[in-house]
Amino acid sequence: MKTDFAQVSRRKFLGTSLLSAAGLSFLPGISIASEQIQAADIHQIRLGFVGVGRQAMGILNGMMRIPGVEVLACADVYAIKRERFKLRVDKINGELGKSTPKIDLYADYKDLLARPDIDAVVIATPDHWHALIAIDACKAGKDIYLEKPLTFTIKEGQELVKAVRSHGTVLAVGSQQRSEVNFQHAARMVLKGRIGKVKQVLVHVGQPEHPIPYDLEKQEIPAGLE
């Protein structure tokens, strides 16, 4: 079915092109489908990032290459990461031949959410912050791209669902291993029996947690870390 991109609204754009392209940025050799919306008559999408560690850098790379997207700010408790984020935004804008807007850097994510000129936020914080920040973003009227997991607990998930529905928020979860074509193809091959009868599945979830009580040496709080 052919999409009439000239009729794509801001929220429709957020819910499809913008959010799906972030996932594509992680696949080497697959370019973001920006050519599909080059001729689109779409409004500018102004983004803020909350949590700007390694995962956010990959998302940023994809988001900024979508026509109509502009990154205005980030929030993180670590000054080094905030500065690195600004340098990356400047670098990508330079590669794309775009003028770089002023990038505002915040230690407190609530200062970012309070800005009326930001349409949507990317949340890529540690897992235990996902629910609280996403609910606050809903209340602030921001659409959301939220890194996985959706929330840390079932109760948090229930509260986030309530917030999304009550505020009419567009929310997408960055779960590429569920939504990307290559993973879906692999799952279909297994379900169709193409690899034979599956008798055993081995799952690896990383090394066990450090035993309690912890015997790690005391470290000073790094400079620039709230």
Domain residue spans in the chain?
5-179
Residues 6+ apart with CB under 8 A from 111: 75
- Residue carrying structure tokens 């499809």: 16
How deeply is 208 buried, as exposed, middle or buried, from its count of CB atoms within 10 A (0-12, 13-18, 19+)? exposed
* C-alpha R_g of the chain: 20
pLDDT given at position 176: 76
Q: Is 206 left (phi over 0), alpha (psi -120 to 50) or beta?
A: left
Alpha-carbon separation of residue 38 from 5, 33, 58, 93 (angstroms): 9, 9, 22, 17
pLDDT in tens, 154-211: 999 999 999 999 999 999 998 877 778 899 999 999 999 999 999 998 988 777 776 6
For the entire predicted model, the pTM comes to: 0.75
One of 3.40.250.10, 3.40.50.2300, 2.60.40.10, 3.40.50.720 is the CATH number of 5-179, namely: 3.40.50.720
Least confident of 36-40, 72-76, 172-176: 36-40
> Which pLDDT tens digit goes with each residue over 9-28?
445 445 444 544 444 444 33
Q: Does residue 147 contact residue 176 with C-beta atoms inside 8 Å?
A: no
